[in-house]
Amino acid sequence: MHRYFPHFGMKLSRACAKRTMSVTGVWPLFLLTSKIMLANDYAIDCKDSQYELWYRISKDEYMAYAVKECYQSTERILHSLVDAEGQRWEQFDTWQLLLRARNEGRLFSKIIWPKDPEMKEQVKRLHLLLTVKDSAANIPKNLEARRRLQFFTNSLFMDMPAAKPVSEMIPFSVFTPYYSETVLYSMSELLVENEDGVSILFYLQKISWWTHPFLTHSHEGIIFFTSKPPFIWFTDEWANFLERIGRGESSEDDFKDSPTDTLELRFWVSYRGQTLARTVRGMMYYRRALMLQSYLEKRYLGGIEDANSAAEYIDTQGYELSPDARAQADIKFTYVVSCQIYGQQKQMKKQEAADIALLLQRMS
């Protein structure tokens, strides 16, 4: 899903850890964006009592939560940043004291910038809560991301039997035969232009390969059949990719000065075509899913791993680095790719052999 989300969109879609908030429930930011601004407009226009204002705000569950979270986050952050008079901001009988401290330059003279990663994340979340104006209806912007999230959300309401924990699952294997098909696209293949002066990379930047049934691939490049519905364009995927690797608006020539970015570009394009890399990545999602499920199960059971308390299992960040989760996935899932002529390809120093070794290293 990350290829459909920009970095900013991922921030809005991620729920905060429960331990950082005292408000009941934890909601992702995209449900709360613009709510503070609407509540502020209500307060400006309100000519009634505070109770009437809160009653109006409380009619919108997400707006009421956003107001509570904003207040509690501000209170917690200010208590961690300032001392002396600065910590008395919530006491209404000390406004004169605060005003005098501000005039004398003492109010925020001793600011202790947070070093705790948890507090830093809360500061970032509060900033987004106060500044983002996009409504939930526009997040995510990518249509394919919306379709997948809608499908997943609907599946949560299906009547399904409870799944067994990973430790009790029956191990399974996946087998993929491979002979001499394309493993990864090379830069020369991506930049070569056809008779119309258009390269494969240009096409793949503009169109979603896997969502359109009228797109095929040949040895000469990409062939389009436009006798039926028009193409579905997803140019934002290219922008998301550039954002993930830390580049702005870049052309193909800009990648030549960075071998790392060039490799990332090759993988990005290969994942959009009929390549072995795309097949392997799809199958290895089984392993990632097992790792995540095992990690979450251990968290809910309150397990302790590597001297970390159960509190470290609040979110899923870093689950791929968990030794226990990796071990459970390796026990339950085996993936075999039979590269039938790999020895010959390696002896002849073909690009496919190097790409297979690179793919093995990346997916392990």
- Residue 355's nearest CA partner among 347, 345, 364, 336 is 345
Is 162 within the bounds of a domain? no
Tally of domains within the chain: 2
Gap between the Cα atoms of 12 and 2, Å rounded:
13
Query: pLDDT digits over 176-231, tens only?
Result: 999 999 999 998 888 888 888 888 788 777 765 444 443 444 434 444 444 444 44
Share of the chain above pLDDT 90, in %: 21
Coil/strand/helix, residue 322 = coil
Q: Check whether residue 57 and residue 100 sit in a common domain.
A: yes
Is 36 within the bounds of a domain? yes
Q: Check whether residue 174 and residue 133 sit in a common domain.
A: no
Q: Which residues of the chain have pLDDT under 70?
A: 1-26, 82-95, 98, 105-111, 134-139, 207-235, 249-253, 302-317
Q: pTM for this one?
A: 0.65
Assigned token pair, 244: 């993930």
The residue among 155, 188, 206 that closes a domain is 155
Q: How crowded is the C-beta side of 179, counted as CA atoms within 13 Å?
A: 0
Query: How far apart, in Å, do the first and last CA atoms of the chain sit?
Result: 20
Query: pLDDT digits over 38-57, tens only?
Result: 888 888 888 888 888 888 89
Residue type, 125: R
Q: Check whether residue 194 and residue 341 sit in a common domain.
A: yes
Residues 6+ apart with CB under 8 A from 52: 46
Residue 62 sits in which domain range? Answer: 2-155
Neighbours of 299 (CB within 10 A): 19
